[in-house]
């Protein structure tokens, strides 16, 4: 039990007194109680009139992962206090009680007082004879928004938590830029050749915060959907106004490589999809026998156009030329590339196998676009008796380049910089306030926000170890650029993190989560509970299918990934139709990096773009509801019979395309998104039971919301058609009045 009384509650004939301690801004106190008592050297005036109607109500909502404490009100006479009416002390004098703390303690018999509530005084009213004092739960996040630190220009320093990652590409050493995880860094001003970008660090964020590392700023290329580091790299943040900033060059210069390309019209080579593969080739076979003087096959490549003006462009390929047969005078086989800067590949081979790799300079056309790239496989014969046959092979194709703003167009350059509101960084997350290390889990961010912005103690909260162990895989990438109500932020993180945060009756912070294998701390019997009521959980709370969007993009805030989860057994049992009981969930903070298992060369057929039954080498590698990926297409497995998979094509907004026999099949796993779905399925995926009643055994007066309890030797003897044995319940609400405790509990 969360509240521990002194022991007298286990005896019969108990007497309970409630003590109210009102503190003012001068740190002096008023003491009221149900009956006169001296405790801790302070006399409590037994003046409370509404003894039978005082109630402290605490509840948790497992569906929204929120907690609530109801308001409380006491009525007292306007008695004489130190020579004047008590009303004059409460309001209008030199002491201020409004919005100050009020603690409520319980004393059973002669035991020591135990705190059962923590409130703030919010309203005082009087009818001339009696005074009503209204209190609300003490919530330290009231009237706070984050972010709350800004520059003199009015731009807010962002708040950002999570496991972020930068790219390392430069103009001198271009790299692929497909693995960054960035958050937005607002641009505040341009000073000389530098753009000042704001980071979530510095004096406005708490003492002891170390400077971040790897702060380099990235540019977002909307055409390629990638983040590219700006060059030169700046990894040194500076103290800037009320926080930290890092600079980026006004040229927006960036060097990188990419290989996104499509098959050009008129292409004559086979296996185009191998063009960018590191192991397999796209290829063409050619042959000519005199009087046929040549045989030519062209490979046309349409390279995806990045954003920006390119000052340098190169194409890289690995190639192979195989002359399989040759006869006569001087026939030859050649691999050639047509380039705006001249032929680069042009050697004529008269026999053997030749391999190599080549970097070829190209240039953008007059519109700044990358022209269509052409490779040519060609044999040639020149006289009687000559013949040549062979093949040309290309793989590992990519383009690299250096892009920047076009300084020859100053008007466009200035407009681009003026319109630039944010760039991006993958630097360290905001650090934990209570220990060392980055904040990379969603529950860690929740706790850090409470410490950083509300002043919550750094001492370990009750229940923290349980949540920390259960949520080790629940990562976060979340940022906030404009002020938002802190309570809304905390509730969002708690829901996505699968936990409830509350302040206990004694004012201590507490984390609660529903465990996968719950155990009860107390077992109640029919002798401990009166007015027992049992019922099933409402059908309206049933949650049997969720369509979950996640991985929010830092540029447009749209969600880049999708996961579907369904409890098919419950949907069948409760007669739920295909379009019913579907929840649409958008996760702003909880994130998942893709984890997959690769089954090499698993596809056992050539697959067109419309087939929904596919043949694999070994059907035991797969399960119903698996999400698989072949090339860039994802599919949902709906049924398996032996080595035949029935699938939904083009799943998760991918395109249904053709696939070659022997293609790899990846089985995707979106942990912790699947953990999120399983957590709420465990609570709401089926109709369960609820129990309510009144505790008549004072031994259990210490029960609070969030406690786990069980029942045995109950009346009724069974809960509907089930045994009480093996069922564990979480207390979801309590209503505490002097001498009485009512509760509601839900089967977990």
Residues 32 and 133 in one domain: yes
547 within domain boundaries: no
Residues 215 and 233 sit within 8 Å (Cβ to Cβ)? no
Per residue in 259-313, pLDDT (tens digit) is 999 999 999 999 998 999 998 999 999 999 999 899 999 999 999 999 888 888 9
Rounded to whole angstroms, the Cα distance separating 568 from 161 reads 36
Does the residue 435 lie in any domain? no
Give CA torsion, residues 713, 714, 717, 721, to 10 deg: -110
DSSP string covering 225-290: TEEEE-SS-----EEETTEEEEEEETT--EEEEE--EEEPTT---B-GGGTT-SS--EEEEEEEET
Residues 168 and 157 in one domain: yes
Whether residues 665 and 698 share a domain: the answer is no
Q: Do β-strands 545-552 and 582-586 pair in parallel, antiparallel, or remain unpaired?
A: parallel
- Determine if the peptide bond prior to 291 is cis (ω within 30°): yes
pLDDT over threshold 80, residue 5: no
Q: Residue 736: give its domain's CATH number.
A: 2.40.30
- Across the strands, what pairs with 136? 120
Query: Are 537 and 686 members of one domain?
Result: yes
Distance CA 385, CA 383 (A): 6
Summarised one tens digit per residue, pLDDT across range 180-236 is 999 999 999 999 999 999 998 754 454 445 556 678 999 999 999 999 999 998 888
Question: What's the pLDDT tens digit per position in 321-345?
Answer: 999 999 998 899 999 987 666 567 8
Q: What is the CATH number of the domain that holds 345?
A: 2.60.120
Please name which of 509, 447, 702 lies closest in space to residue 118, comparing C-alpha atoms: 509
Is the confidence at residue 95, as pLDDT, over 60?
yes
pLDDT in tens, 620-641: 999 888 889 998 899 999 999 9
C-alpha to C-alpha distance for 118 and 20, rounded to whole angstroms:
10
Do residues 385 and 352 both lie within one domain?
Answer: yes
Q: What is the pLDDT of residue 309?
A: 87
Question: How much is the average pLDDT of 459-483?
Answer: 96
Q: Looking at the structure, do residues 400 and 280 belong to the same domain, yes or no? A: yes
Last residue of a domain, which of 391, 425, 459? 425
Q: Which of 38, 51, 703, 163 shows the shortest CA–CA distance to 426?
A: 163
Q: What's the CA gap between 745 and 736, in Å, rounded?
A: 15
Q: Do both 46 and 150 map to the same domain?
A: no
Cα–Cα distance measured from residue 252 to residue 231, given in angstroms and rounded to the nearest whole number: 7
Is residue 434 in some structural domain?
Answer: no
Q: What's the confidence (pLDDT) of residue 265? A: 93
550 belongs to a structural domain: no
Q: What is the pLDDT of residues 391-410, one digit of tens each?
A: 999 999 999 999 998 877 77
Regarding whether 80 and 30 lie in a shared domain, the answer is: yes
User: Looking at the domain assignment, is residue 546 inside a domain?
Assistant: no
Q: Do 252 and 276 belong together in one domain?
A: no
Residue that terminates a domain, selected from 676, 707, 735: 676
What is the tens place of the pLDDT at every residue in 526-551?
Answer: 999 999 999 999 999 999 999 999 99
Domain carrying residue 246: 146-256+406-425
More confident residue, 416 or 127: 127
Non-local CB neighbours of 504 within 8 Å, separated by 6+ positions: 2, 3, 462, 510, 704
CA pair distance 421, 153, nearest whole angstrom? 13
Domain count, the chain: 6
Average pLDDT across the chain, whole number? 92
475 near 427, Cβ under 8 Å?
no
| pLDDT at 592 > cutoff 90 | no
If asked whether residues 265 and 397 sit together in one domain, one would say: yes
Res. 575 pLDDT band, cuts 50 70 90: very high
Residues 6+ apart with CB under 8 A from 650: 633, 634, 635, 656
Does residue 461 sit within a domain? yes
Distance CA 240, CA 228 (A): 24
Task: Give a yes or no: residue 395 inside a domain.
Answer: yes
Co-location of 237 and 335 in the same domain: no
Please report whether residue 436 resides in a domain.
no
Q: How many CB atoms lie within 10 A of CB 708?
A: 18
Does residue 668 contact residue 627 with C-beta atoms inside 8 Å?
yes
Do 529 and 651 fall within a single domain? no
Write down which residue in 653, 676, 699 finishes a domain.
676
Q: What is the pTM of this model?
A: 0.88
Measured CA to CA, the distance from residue 166 to residue 183 in angstroms comes to 10
């Amino acid at each position: 039990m969360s509240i521990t009384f002194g022991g007298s509650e286990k005896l019969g004939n108990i007497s309970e007194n409630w003590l109210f301690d009102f503190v003012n801004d001068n740190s002096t106190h008023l003491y009221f109680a149900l009956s006169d008592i001296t405790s801790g050297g302070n006399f409590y005036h037994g003046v409370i009139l509404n003894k039978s109607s005082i109630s402290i109500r605490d509840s948790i909502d497992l569906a929204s992962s929120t907690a609530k404490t109801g308001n409380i009100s006491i009525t007292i006479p306007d008695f004489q206090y130190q020579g004047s009416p008590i009303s004059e002390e409460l309001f209008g004098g030199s002491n201020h009680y409004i919005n100050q703390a009020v603690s409520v303690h319980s004393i059973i018999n002669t035991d020591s007082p135990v705190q059962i509530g923590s409130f703030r005084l919010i309203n005082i009213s009087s009818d001339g004879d009696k005074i009503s004092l209204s209190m609300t739960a003490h919530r330290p996040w009231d009237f706070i928004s984050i972010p709350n630190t800004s520059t003199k220009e009015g731009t807010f320093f962002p708040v950002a938590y999570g496991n972020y990652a930068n790219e390392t590409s430069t103009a001198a050493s271009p790299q692929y830029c497909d693995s960054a995880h960035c958050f937005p860094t607002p641009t505040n001003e341009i000073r000389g050749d530098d753009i000042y970008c704001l980071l979530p660090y510095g004096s406005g964020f708490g003492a002891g915060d170390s400077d971040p590392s790897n702060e380099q700023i990235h540019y977002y290329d909307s055409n390629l959907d990638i983040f590219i580091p700006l060059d030169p790299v700046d990894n040194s943040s500076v103290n800037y106004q009320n926080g930290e900033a890092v600079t980026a060059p006004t040229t927006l210069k960036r060097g990188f490589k990419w290989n996104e390309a499509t098959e050009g019209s008129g292409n004559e080579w086979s296996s185009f999809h191998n063009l960018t593969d590191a192991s397999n080739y796209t290829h063409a076979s050619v042959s000519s026998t005199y009087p046929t003087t040549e045989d030519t096959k062209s490979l046309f490549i349409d390279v995806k156009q990045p954003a920006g003006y390119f000052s340098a462009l190169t194409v890289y390929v690995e190639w192979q030329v195989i002359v399989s047969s040759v006869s006569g005078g001087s026939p030859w086989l050649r691999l050639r590339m047509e380039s705006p800067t001249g032929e680069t590949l042009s050697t004529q081979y008269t026999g053997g196998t030749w391999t190599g790799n080549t970097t070829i300079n190209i240039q953008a056309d007059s519109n700044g676009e990358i022209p269509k790239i052409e490779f040519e496989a060609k044999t040639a014969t020149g006289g009687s008796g000559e013949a040549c046959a062979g093949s040309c092979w290309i793989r590992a194709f990519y383009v690299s380049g250096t892009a920047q703003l076009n300084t020859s167009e100053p008007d466009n350059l200035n407009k681009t910089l003026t319109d630039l509101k944010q760039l991006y960084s993958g630097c360290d997350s905001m650090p934990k306030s209570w220990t060392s290390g980055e904040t990379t889990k969603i529950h860690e961010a929740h706790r850090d926000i409470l410490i950083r912005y509300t002043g919550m103690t750094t001492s370990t909260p009750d229940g923290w170890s349980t949540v920390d162990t259960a949520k080790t895989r629940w990562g976060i990438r979340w940022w906030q650029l404009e002020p938002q109500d802190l309570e809304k932020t905390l509730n969002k993180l708690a829901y996505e993190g699968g936990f409830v945060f509350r302040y206990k009756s004694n004012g201590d912070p507490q984390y609660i989560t529903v465990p996968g294998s719950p155990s009860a701390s107390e077992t109640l019997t029919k002798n401990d509970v009166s007015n027992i009521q049992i019922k099933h959980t409402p059908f309206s709370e049933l949650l049997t299918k969720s369509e979950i969007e996640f991985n929010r993009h830092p540029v447009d805030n749209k969600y880049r990934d999708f996961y579907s989860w369904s409890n098919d057994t419950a949907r069948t049992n409760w007669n739920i139709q295909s379009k019913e009981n579907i929840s649409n969930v958008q996760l702003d903070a909880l994130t998942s990096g893709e984890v997959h298992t690769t089954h090499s060369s698993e596809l056992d057929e050539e697959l067109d773009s419309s087939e929904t039954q596919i043949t694999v080498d070994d059907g035991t590698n797969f399960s119903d509801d698996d999400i698989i990926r072949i090339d860039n297409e994802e599919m949902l497995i709906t049924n398996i019979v032996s080595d035949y998979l029935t699938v939904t094509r083009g799943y998760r907004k991918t395109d249904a395309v053709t696939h070659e026999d022997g293609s790899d099949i990846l089985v995707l796993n979106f942990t912790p998104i699947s953990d999120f779905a399983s957590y709420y399925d465990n609570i709401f995926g089926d109709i369960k039971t609820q129990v309510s009643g009144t505790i008549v055994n004072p031994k259990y007066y210490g029960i609070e919301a969030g406690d786990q309890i069980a029942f045995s030797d109950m009346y009724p003897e069974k809960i509907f058609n089930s045994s009480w044995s093996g069922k564990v319940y979480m207390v979801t609400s309590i209503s505490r009045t002097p001498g009485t405790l009512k509760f509601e509990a839900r089967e977990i």
